[in-house]
A and B are shown apart, each in its own frame.
Chain A
Amino acid sequence: MAINIVLAIIVTSLATYLSRFLGALTSEKISEKSKIYRWFNCIAYSTLAALISRILIFPSGDLSEVNYLLRIIVILLSILIFYVTKRNLVYPTVLSAIILAALNSFAV
């Protein structure tokens, strides 16, 4: 390890807190009924959706080892389970992990 772990942690946390703190500062004058608030709200949801779909479609780290066809099957099955279980969040989440582990062990 070339650099000090504690320093890396502190740098990471400062870089993270910066965005949160700037958000708290600049939102002080924004009313929840204003247009700018609605715009930021849209951006927040869009950015999260973009992040999630990027993780699922172009993953880095552990998920990138999984074949993309398997990932697509798991995504579609999860959406199906979500609707079948009347928009329950726990079933698709838990089942997605089990389905992926099962499919992946067959595929390898």
Chain B
Amino acid sequence: MINSKYFLQGILASKKFDSPAIALGASFVAIGALLKNLGFTIQESIFSTLLTYALPGSLVMAESMLIGASLVNIFLAVWLVNSRLYPMTVSIMPLLKHESQPRWKYYLSCHFVAVSSWLILKSNYEEIERKYRIDFWIGIGTATWLVAIFSTIIGYYASDFLNRDMIIALAIINPIYFMCAMIGVMKTVQLTSAILLGALLGPIFYFISPEWCVLIGGLVAGTISYFIGEKYGN
């Protein structure tokens, strides 16, 4: 089934000193507090992180519920904000592919695709034997997923003790961490231009459409940087 050695290696890769799990934990503490204030029970909060496990999606759900949006509207809003998971999944699954591994592993473990787990995999996969990369990935996913769930529980119960300044401080941890992580991976021409152009075009397209700016900015910036990279070498 799952090779336990590589599964464990995946778990361990997620608890390094500067692991993305820190940013993940901080933001799900904030989500736990937010869900409690929205009137969720602890079971519903855990259920939400367990099933969704994507921060912007949970935020959009919370905002939509506050304004009393319908289920169809929630579905569309969440789908739109989380569709960034599509190119992210496509850009890691080929790295994990091996003909001896059953397909259900890929279909189930794609649930673990999130920025933190994605970054952990991207910086570690080359050291792992190809055949067992999917088990390594399931290890990473399980570890980060559990961090998110436990952080939601902590945030839920800590919400009475968190004041506004602390909630705001928690909210900045996630984007700052991933901003620095993105700067850290700017090692090739292609990735450097992808990240810089994306960071530039995302906010620029905001003036045209706040809902679509991330996707359109990402698509345009990614396509331009692809050609830049192909032309000027990787």
Q: How far is the CB of B135 from chain A (nearest CB, A)?
A: 16
Q: Chain B: interface secondary structure?
A: helix
- Residues in chain B near residue A101, CB distance under 8 A: 165-166, 168-169
- Scoring A15, A65, A87 by chain B CB atoms within 10 A of each residue's CB, the highest score goes to A15
Determine whether the beta carbon of A93 is less than 8 Å from that of B87: no
Determine whether the beta carbon of B168 is less than 8 Å from that of A20: no
Interface string of B24-65 (1 = CB under 8 A from A): 001000100000001110001001100111101111110111
Interface string of B15-27 (1 = CB under 8 A from A): 0011010110010
Task: Tell me if B9 is interfacial: C-beta within 8 Å of chain A.
Answer: no
Determine whether the beta carbon of B225 is less than 8 Å from that of A42: yes
Q: Of B47, B107, B183, which contacts A6 at CB under 8 A? A: B47
* CB-CB contacts below 8 Å: B79-102 with A: 79, 82-91, 93-95, 97
Determine whether the beta carbon of A50 is less than 8 Å from that of B221: yes
How far is it, in angstroms, between the C-alpha of A37 and the C-alpha of B117 when the chains are bound?
A: 19
Determine whether the beta carbon of A9 is less than 8 Å from that of B176: no
What is the number of residues of chain B that contact chain A, defined by CB distance less than 8 Å?
A: 106
- Residues in chain B near residue A1, CB distance under 8 A: 38-39, 65
How far is it, in angstroms, between the C-alpha of A28 and the C-alpha of B210 when the chains are bound?
A: 32
Task: Tell me if A69 is interfacial: C-beta within 8 Å of chain B.
Answer: no
Task: Tell me if B199 is interfacial: C-beta within 8 Å of chain A.
Answer: yes
Determine whether the beta carbon of B222 is less than 8 Å from that of A43: yes
Determine whether the beta carbon of B203 is less than 8 Å from that of A49: no
Q: Of B110, B170, B173, which contacts A21 at CB under 8 A? A: B110
- Residues in chain A near residue B30, CB distance under 8 A: 62
Q: Of B54, B106, B190, which contacts A42 at CB under 8 A? A: B190
Task: Tell me if B148 is interfacial: C-beta within 8 Å of chain A.
Answer: no
How far is it, in angstroms, between the C-alpha of A16 and the C-alpha of B60 when the chains are bound?
A: 11
Determine whether the beta carbon of A63 is less than 8 Å from that of B172: yes
- Residues in chain A near residue B199, CB distance under 8 A: 49-50, 52-53
- Residues in chain A near residue B180, CB distance under 8 A: 78-79, 82, 87, 89, 92-93
Q: Of B59, B93, B219, which contacts A24 at CB under 8 A? A: B93
